[in-house]
Chains A and B, each alone.
Chain A
């Protein structure tokens, strides 16, 4: 991790270098029935630079979704501190600093594809013509041009997920939070969407926190892969991936030896090879 954490007070000249996300010793304890508690996250620290693509990977129940929800201010950390663009998570949510896509698409069944994508714009008072122009762009981007006036239950799971992704991009956020957004997609669509996502993000300069269960997916997309372990949820390793800027990542990369090295490094970190390496370098 190279980006030093900066305080908002460093002034306008340094504004660009304020971390997109800064998580410092965050912990989350869920109170469950009769005083029992679940330690979902324990002493997690992570900094995400502006424009950086970071994946979270780890076994089920290790707290990936929880970490994402803390950053999104959908849950509150029980300890530690979380800053998003130098603001508290709560303030960042209120200021609409991020776009989010959930594992279950979470579309509104009574709204058409287009109306679903327009939802955040509508809530934030964007005018009708501007809304539909933006929706148009996004529908084309996710390849659903023929489906814009369909309703969610007329779409396949993968199509719904694409609508959810388009919706998360609607307001051109500088930060994208994505919880297994490609989980429901078939392998081919998945690889196409990965490539689209990596291109969009590097073009828009958005930082991304991306939860996934797939090692190749994490490696293909990311600048860094954060490996987590359960009970309590902790970060056990961070693997730097050096496959060049997102704009240059294409299908060919999947046969590249650097790609395989990345996959191997993440796999080793996941399976807890002796002395799980912090910041494995791959060059």
Chain B
């Protein structure tokens, strides 16, 4: 964008630094009545409640409506079981549900961490080496639109179907693109005045990266991470649909459905939703923690 241009550009706005658009809306709308009743302890607890409560309330309302619809229209379980049926199954298979969530969650976590670290490192390289930048950016843009989970069966044969590695690799590839693209955008946001300042201090390029470029990109990295955290869970589950180990949520969903145990399949879907929420919530908390020191 305004790189190489002196004077006020987009990034010059006031005293702040550019905030990625997607980050702005998080945790903004708390229904007033609800939060007043539930929020007591001040400070961090309040922030937690504020970010967790609204989706929770919406979820409960949705479940009530669902139960009502299933009862009123007498919908058959193979079409849509009622929430109480599903809850019954959740209790019945609880231990197995928990271990499947852990297995899938671990795959998603490992893929997310490895892919994320790789994405940030490569974005750093790309932001400093123009040639590399030209090579890798179109590649990643391509990667972002390819349905990577389609690779799962191939990876299964590559790494052997008794290993968790194929799933972790799928997750790694899937999370790479959003984190890489957002990080790189953040790294390119350096304000001209900061560049001048570091030049005036005769700072090395590593010092520039460490004290200006990378800290400036942190909000962008978190935007990427937030998108990637949901993708990580989804791809870890979907990767299991293509065979291999039978230890995760995805494989339990397919086998339950194959046995016409629909409420049980839904119980595992419920586990998948919880897992997704946990990943999203943890990234959100990390982001809060990182930005607390800024303003």
Task: Mark A residues whose CB is within 8 Å of B.
Answer: 69, 72-74, 93-94, 96, 98, 100, 102, 104-110, 119-120, 122-124, 151-155, 157, 160
Chain A residues, CB < 8 A from B200? 72, 74, 93, 98, 100
User: Which residues of B (178-201) have their CB < 8 Å from a CB of A?
Assistant: 191, 193-194, 196-201
Q: Tell me which of A94, A104, A154 has the highest count of chain B C-beta atoms within 10 A of its own C-beta.
A: A104
What are 26 A-B pairs at a CB distance below 8 A? A69-B196, A72-B200, A73-B199, A98-B200, A104-B12, A106-B197, A108-B194, A108-B212, A109-B15, A109-B17, A110-B17, A110-B215, A110-B216, A110-B218, A110-B293, A110-B294, A119-B211, A123-B201, A123-B203, A123-B211, A151-B293, A153-B14, A153-B15, A153-B16, A153-B295, A154-B295
Q: List 14 other contacts, CB 8 Å, given A107-B15, A123-B207.
A: A93-B200, A94-B202, A102-B193, A102-B196, A104-B193, A106-B193, A108-B215, A109-B15, A109-B16, A109-B17, A109-B295, A151-B293, A153-B295, A155-B15
In the assembled complex, the Cα of A65 lies from the Cα of B16 at a distance in Å of 23
In the assembled complex, the Cα of A155 lies from the Cα of B207 at a distance in Å of 26
In the assembled complex, the Cα of A154 lies from the Cα of B293 at a distance in Å of 12
B154-176 vs A: 1/0 string, CB under 8 Å?
Answer: 00000000000000000000000
Interface size on B (CB < 8 Å)? 26
**Closest chain A CB from B217 CB (angstroms):** 11
Q: Which of A102, A119, A160 contacts B15 (CB 8 A)?
A: A160
Question: Which residue of chain B has its CB nearest to the CB of A159?
Answer: B15
Assuming the A-B contacts A110-B215, A110-B218, are A93 and B202 also in contact, with contact meaning beta carbons closer than 8 angstroms in the complex?
Answer: yes
In the assembled complex, the Cα of A105 lies from the Cα of B14 at a distance in Å of 11
Instruction: Tell whether, in the assembled complex, residue A96 and residue B193 are in contact, meaning their CB atoms are under 8 Å apart.
Output: no
In the assembled complex, the Cα of A100 lies from the Cα of B201 at a distance in Å of 9
In the assembled complex, the Cα of A104 lies from the Cα of B14 at a distance in Å of 9
Assuming the A-B contacts A155-B15, A157-B15, are A102 and B197 also in contact, with contact meaning beta carbons closer than 8 angstroms in the complex?
Answer: yes
